[in-house]
Amino acid sequence: MIDIRFLRENPEAVKENIKKKFQDSKLPLVDEVLALDVESRKNKTDADNLRASRNKYSKQIGALMGQGKKEEAEEMKKLVNEQSEALAAAEAKEAELQEKIKNIMMVIPNIIDESVPIGKDDSENVEVQRYGEPVVPSFPIPYHTDIMERFNGIDLDSARRVAGNGFYYLMGDIARIHSSVISYARDFMIDRGFTYCIPPFMIRSDVVTGVMSFAEMEAMMYKIEGEDLYLIGTSEHSMIGKFIDTIIPEDTLPQALTSYSPCFRKEKGAHGIEERGVYRIHQFEKQEMVVVCKPEDSMMWFDKLWQNTVDLFRSLDIPVRTLECCSGDLADLKVKSIDVEAWSPRQGKYFEVGSCSNLGDAQARRLKIRVNGKDGKYLAHTLNNTVVAPPRMLIAFLENNLNEDGSVNIPEALRPYMGGKEKIIPVK
């Protein structure tokens, strides 16, 4: 959410930003919110005048009563009562106008960074750099669930009977790799100076609307019936929510946190839930990184965050590339975003395994996350990035470490978490 003062002073810049995101249907919202803002400020001035006048007359009532001028005092009381009623109406109108302004401002997209490439959708994202040599082996790579089934490592049929499509049972060595990757990612981030955290897995609606757009909320979040609680789609939600309505001492910044959580997603409108696999599912686990920092440091942290993911995947012998998200592919709160994609030898192409986002002060403005600096209070900047999400990581891991005999190599970095195993052997 952008600052109303910025919109008031730079309406054309806001409109141009909307055009860059190919959301022309939102252009009328700028003029609508400006008109409401003018009305709101006038109403506030009227209310302030009524309040001052009422207070002035209220003080005169006591003086008139002391002078024995009861009739004049009673007339003054009537005037005060009339002004109180008018003030109550003005205050109610002000609350209504502010709510309308807030609802529109929540829909107007954040100002993107000038370095973001302009494009309509993810087909126009721009490759930045490749890390590691993508290899297609001489033997065929099976579909990832077929690889898992050779180890008796996955049971989709039972999961479907228990919970429906989009769920799975992982077992044996495959389940162990899953847990090992999470543990390794945790320690990897701790070694890079991040504080480990396990957050709440449910959050209230005011946190949900603070961390994401309405469109994202509708497509992703599961609501707990009868409660003001939602299951988190990623631990970023509760990790940023940790700072809601707080004033952070500047000398404690940056706050660099890495968090584990299960994640729950509707995946509404997405394709792939019906597919036999674990690429797009309703429930998975993830290691996340979140940073709260000073505005001047946010781009430096942005580069650090996506580099962490690249380094982790390369330490597990998985080739990756970074992809700059174009303007039309950016969620409304994001200033800039880079996806990390892993190489799939089976498909002969890269696929997304993580996304790094700089949200500027948008989340901080919604959640009232302020910093107490030497020159006064200001809004923090927030960033987030996927360290690793094992369902997709498992696909990349198994395909890139598969041998022709069906065994899977365990990279050296992961062996301490796998009981020292150098490879796992299929049972069928």
pLDDT digits (tens, 9 = 90+) for 370-406: 999 999 999 999 999 999 998 899 999 999 999 999 9
Which tokens go with 93?
């109108």
pLDDT over 70 at 200, yes or no: yes
Q: Which range has the worst mean pLDDT, 24-33, 77-86, 119-128, 251-260?
A: 77-86
Confidence at residue 81, expressed as pLDDT on a 0 to 100 scale: 85
Domain locations along the chain:
4-105, 122-424
Confidence at residue 214, expressed as pLDDT on a 0 to 100 scale: 73
Confidence at residue 252, expressed as pLDDT on a 0 to 100 scale: 97
Non-local CB neighbours of 167 within 8 Å, separated by 6+ positions: 159, 160, 281, 282, 283
pLDDT over 60 at 269, yes or no: no
Secondary-structure class of domain 4-105 per CATH: mainly alpha
Q: How sure is the predictor about 292, in pLDDT bands with cuts at 50, 70 and 90?
A: very high
Task: Determine whether 157 is exposed, middle or buried from the number of CB atoms within 10 Å of its CB (0-12, 13-18, 19+).
Answer: exposed
Q: How sure is the predictor about 270, in pLDDT bands with cuts at 50, 70 and 90?
A: low
Report the topology of domain 122-424.
Answer: BirA Bifunctional Protein; domain 2 (3.30.930)
In the predicted model, what is the mean pLDDT of residues 345-360?
96
Model confidence, pTM: 0.89
Non-local CB neighbours of 267 within 8 Å, separated by 6+ positions: 166, 219, 220, 273, 280, 281, 282
pLDDT digits (tens, 9 = 90+) for 47-76: 988 888 888 878 787 777 777 777 787 777
pLDDT over 90 at 25, yes or no: yes
Q: What percent of the chain has pLDDT above 70?
A: 98
pLDDT over 70 at 286, yes or no: yes
CA–CA separation, 148 vs 426, rounded Å?
9
3-state secondary structure 164-200: CCCCCEECHHHHHHHHHHHHHHHHHHHHCCCEEECCC
Instruction: Let me know: does 237 contact 203? Beta carbons within 8 Å.
Output: yes
Q: How sure is the predictor about 272, in pLDDT bands with cuts at 50, 70 and 90?
A: low
Confidence at residue 69, expressed as pLDDT on a 0 to 100 scale: 79
